[in-house]
Structures are given as C-alpha cells and as structure tokens.
Structure 1
Amino acid sequence: MRHKLSTLYKSILEKAETTDFNLFVTGYVGFFNQDTTDCDQSSYDYFKSGYKPSGNLVMLTRDLRTELNLLVAQLNNAIESAVQDANAGAKTTQIHYVDVLYVF
C-alpha cells in the first residue's frame, strides 16, 4: 500500500498545472476511547447495535478498541512514509502529511 500511495501522490504532482502546487494528505483519527470500559458492553452490529445487545456479537471491549486504534496508527505510519517516499522520489517537498490525531 505504501508504494501505491507514493506512486499516487507523485502522479498527482505530475498532473498539477503549476509548480507552486502543494498536496496535503491527512491521516486518520483513532475511532475509539480505549481508556475506559464504557463501551465494553456495546456492539456495532448492524441489526443489534447499542448497549448490552443480545445474541452472539462482537463487543467493543477495551482490547478490541485498542487493537483498532493501533491499526489506525499503522495506517497513518504507512501514509506518512508514502509521503516521504514520494517527496524523495520527486525531489520535492510539495507533499505534506497532516497528522490530525492530536486535534481530536
């Protein structure tokens, strides 16, 4: 994915009609608060979502929320690395990674 993103970013730069074009690529925010147990008994099941739903469902435990947020962090690392690769490959600094995680 990193290589595909880097190639995409470079191709966007190549298609820009001006040399002062800058591309800003944002990361993703973590989806869940993993520091509390508030969601441990909740599910995002399409038909049975909510608090304390019945049935055999995947619950949003702290461990699962932590794992999902770690996946978001890994994705953001791949995006940021792809931006660095694209800048190095194009010998430019016109592509910028914007870390939005701390804003939220």
Structure 2
Amino acid sequence: MARLIYRLHDLRAFRRERVMRDRNNPLDIYGDRELIERFRFSRVELLELINDLSPQLQHATDRNGALSPTLQVLISLRFYASGSFQNTFADMVNVSRSTACRAIRRV
C-alpha cells in the first residue's frame, strides 16, 4: 500500500506546470497610423468601441488568465479588417488559435 502511495506521489511530480503568456496590449505598442492600418479604426474610435462592449465581454473573474475586453475586441477587429487566418493575429497578442476563435465569437 505504501508503495502505491509513493508511486502516485511521483506521478504528480511529473505534471506540467501551467504557462501564463505575457500578452501585449496593441494600444500601447502601435502608433495612431499603425492602428488604423491594422484595425481600420483610430485610437479614439477603438477606445469608444471597447468602452461600449466592455460590460458584455468582461469575465466575472480573472481566473485562468482571462482575456481582457480590450484584447477580445482588438482580436476580432483584426480578423474582420484583414480577413486572414486566426493564427496570424493570435500570434500578435500571444494567445492560442482557439482562444482567438472564442474571442471573435463573443464579440
């Protein structure tokens, strides 16, 4: 019995640790001209849109590193503006493709 408990303890030690990615905010990175090129909106228009949509997109908790409403809106706008694959702009803000897909669906 003690041997079984010891083995279970060893198996738990081999679990992978969760990796929380550093997500950059594109509003902080890009200038006004670059924002218009990438998202088809100016900084002021983006902030207004984000403020309007934030109550519906805000998660109840920040558990599991939930995406902020800002990133959800920017991911969606990038998809709508470029019409490219989700991988392209998911890499831009360092999220997975499935997370980008869920953000687009929510927005």
- TM-score by length of structure 1 reads 0.25
- TM-score by length of structure 2 reads 0.25
Structure richer in strand, relative to its length: 1
Structure richer in helix, relative to its length: 2
Structure of higher RCO (CA pairs closer than 8 Å, 6+ residues apart): 1
